Amino acid sequence: MTKILTVTFNPALDLATSAACVEPNRKLRCAPETAEAGGGGVNVARAVTQLGGKAQALVALGGPNGAALGGILDAMQLDWCRVEAPGDTRHSFSVTDESRGDQYRFVLTGPVWTSEQLDAVLNQIAETTAEDTLIVFSGSMPPGAQVGFLSEAAARLLPRRVIIDTSGPHLESAAKGEAPAPFILRMDSHEARELSGLPLESKKDSADFAETLRQRGAAECVVIARGADGSVMAAPDGLWHVNAANDNVVSAIGAGDSFVGGMVMGLANGERPEQALRMGAAAASAAVLSKGTQLCLPADYARMLPVTHLTQL
């Protein structure tokens, strides 16, 4: 089985609590908080592991928050390794208003990295991983990472296959296809509409835009998630659609990370990209059946995979 390494430069110690009613300009008495490990790469590695695969998470940690987050990763029995962050690991903080069910989420920025510090981590990855390793960059990039960093990372780590699932300026830069392309670039429909300036109302519209990005050199395969309408992919052998296998959504938290986990696990097992796409979609369908941050549970994934269908457009 091909090895999988996920990279999380900007993890968070996620704190969550609730209050009877969230109102401004007054002290809010909160329920006891819970603490969890946050970060796209961490969640992708968790998803692969929960589904019976093997993945290692490389996580940048610093200070007391980093020590606490590392303890949570150990308690999960996740295969992970630490690199030193240039400052204290950030918090993210959410408060649920019990009277209305609304959730207020506060995400802090995290420590600032220099180009030299980021390059050192890339050099470490290149020196310690086999050339056929699948490397996943998932989640937000840290402050200090220059736009274009992920394209540089994909070039630096060749011939390793790089999967990118990010947002904001870093996604916009990757979509321009101005540097050696990653193996897979993934985004959601909202991000695709912003990049294209088009409504992308149908799955064929999204698939055609994914092909435009692929032809531009953004990635060998471009995936666009369409929520309840499934996902599409432009690949060298054509355009593909996979359905979302269930209509019941308990929680959408972690669906995207579960998708990436399922897809990269398929690739690691030697599946073609379109079949790996189907596995990713089944993992996402399983994730939305789980409460909170449980991601994709194996029993749900086993039920979703047979009813997840692949169609060539």
The pLDDT value given to residue 101: 86
Q: What distances in angstroms separate CA 109 from CA 9, 10, 276, 306, one per listed residue?
A: 12, 8, 33, 41
The pLDDT value given to residue 178: 74
The pLDDT value given to residue 93: 87
Q: Domain 4-12+38-88+110-312 is classified in which CATH homologous superfamily? A: Ribokinase (3.40.1190.20)
- Tens digits of pLDDT across the chain (313 residues): 799 999 999 999 988 899 999 999 999 999 998 888 989 999 999 999 999 999 999 999 999 999 999 999 999 999 999 999 999 999 998 898 999 988 898 989 999 999 999 999 999 999 999 999 999 999 999 999 999 999 999 999 999 999 999 999 999 999 998 777 899 999 999 999 999 999 999 999 999 999 999 999 999 999 999 999 999 999 999 999 999 987 777 877 789 999 999 999 999 999 999 999 999 999 999 998 987 678 899 999 999 999 999 999 9
- Write the burial class of residue 107 (CB in 10 Å: 0-12 exposed, 13-18 middle, 19+ buried): middle
**CA trace torsion 289, 46, 135, 191 (10° rounding):** 30
Distance from the Cα of residue 173 to its chain's centroid: 17
User: Residue 15: CB partners within 8 Å, gap ≥ 6?
Assistant: 33, 34, 35, 91, 92, 93, 94
Residue 277 C-beta-side C-alpha neighbours within 13 Å = 27
d(CA 209, CA 298): 33
- Residue pair 80/45 in contact by the 8 Å Cβ criterion: yes
What sign does the CA torsion over 67, 68, 73, 77 have?
Answer: positive
- Cβ atoms within 10 Å, residue 102: 10
d(CA 286, CA 255): 8
Cis amide leading into 273 (omega within 30): no
Q: What distances in angstroms separate CA 131 from CA 2, 127, 172, 204, one per listed residue?
A: 10, 10, 27, 35
Whether 257 is a known active-site residue: answer: yes
pTM of the entire predicted model: 0.93
- Residue pair 204/224 in contact by the 8 Å Cβ criterion: no
- Residue pair 92/105 in contact by the 8 Å Cβ criterion: yes
* Paired tokens of 277: 């796409």
> Given the DSSP bridges, would you call strands 90-97 and 103-107 parallel, antiparallel or unpaired?
antiparallel
The pLDDT value given to residue 30: 95
* Paired tokens of 93: 């903080």
- Active site residue: 165, 188, 257, 300, which one? 257
d(CA 77, CA 72): 9
* Paired tokens of 133: 């390793």
d(CA 63, CA 121): 18
The pLDDT value given to residue 43: 94
Q: What is the DSSP secondary structure assignment for residue 42, as one 8-state letter?
A: H
What sign does the CA torsion over 196, 309, 164, 76 have?
Answer: positive
The pLDDT value given to residue 170: 95
